[in-house]
Chains A and B, each alone.
Chain A
């Protein structure tokens, strides 16, 4: 059997998984929820320093078992953000709920300084040079679920050079997971 896959973001203090977002859009906002609405938008920055949405944390979920193994789980950006939009990505085993206190000006140690922003810029991760989430075995038959993987943390920022207005970013940003299946 082939593995069937979901992509889910987490929110809340527990945390709890939201709905499958495969092939859909995701709302990056200044609120800790998965609701597809226009509430809590990211304000346009007045300077060239970035202001940020709250972090979002995701995992890939296998709803049916592979015939044998899922291995080598990776992440990459499949299309880059427009000028003035920053997108950060990193891994953590420790879930931290998004909040205004911790996230509005960048996550400490990850997106709070220009150096950290460069290190964790998701555009560093391309299809030929992806972020390795787990280079080994993620899930083995007959199991389902998330297996062995860390949270992928992503966060979006905006500065004054962004030419767009309210609403969805244009052109859109593409995010992809990749894995080997046998």
Chain B
């Protein structure tokens, strides 16, 4: 469980309560090789999430990354919501990461990595990290970036490439 003192802060506690333990810190957008765009939420909710810090995302309308045809993605981005930036002002900018993929060689990987604790850490019983990356179509090798709500990031070649403390 995280030992980073940031997880004890009021900002973290508020962020977790407002974003379901970090699930809705970011919203994703995928651009396919035919130019079409897929988003985690339909356009009105997506735009409001980016601009209105009081807007709560309608979680029941969320689209899973499993709807994305993973072998046709040329670009994938995670955007901070306005609420995330309002609660944690040190998250500056609009976009945390943007992946450019070669659909003929790479498949998108994108999911939540959820830690569920029995003994609660410093105010944390659940922690949701964002994982984005790709799998090479021929070799099966993976390259993943794991992003914690604290802003810490780690690279990994496996699904278990996470860490404690951040």
Contact = CB atoms under 8 A, between A and B. Distances in A.
B13 interface: no
A118 interface: no
B164 interface: yes
Interface string B106-132: 000011111111111100111000010
A182 B59 contact: no
A78 interface: yes
A141 B20 CA distance: 19
Interface stretch (A44-52, A96-104, A105-113, A168-176): A168-176
B63 interface: yes
Interface residues of B, number: 33
B38 interface: no
Contacts of B160: 74, 127-130
A23 B159 contact: no
Nearest to B118: A175
B78 interface: no
B161 interface: yes
Count chain B CB atoms within 10 A of each CB in A26, A78, A129, A130 and give the residue with the most.
Answer: A78
Contacts, number: 108
A1 B60 contact: yes
Nearest to B64: A68
B150 interface: no
A176 B116 contact: yes
B64 A67 contact: yes
A181 B162 contact: no
A72 B116 contact: no
A182 B65 contact: yes
Contact of B1 (A69, A174, A181): A174
A176 B111 contact: no
B62 A78 contact: no
Contact of B117 (A22, A66, A126, A128): A22
Interface of A: 1-2, 5, 7, 21-26, 60, 66-69, 71-72, 74, 78-79, 126-130, 141, 172-182
Given A22-B120, A173-B119, A182-B66, 9 more contacts: A1-B62, A5-B126, A22-B125, A23-B118, A24-B118, A68-B64, A69-B64, A172-B119, A174-B118
Which 4 A/B pairs are nearest by Cβ-Cβ distance?
A23-B125, A68-B64, A23-B120, A68-B66
27 contacts: A2-B23, A2-B62, A5-B116, A7-B118, A22-B116, A23-B120, A23-B124, A24-B119, A26-B118, A66-B64, A67-B62, A68-B65, A68-B67, A69-B64, A69-B66, A78-B119, A141-B64, A173-B119, A174-B117, A175-B118, A175-B119, A176-B1, A178-B116, A178-B162, A181-B112, A181-B114, A182-B111
Interface of B: 1, 20, 23, 59-60, 62-67, 110-121, 124-126, 131, 159-164
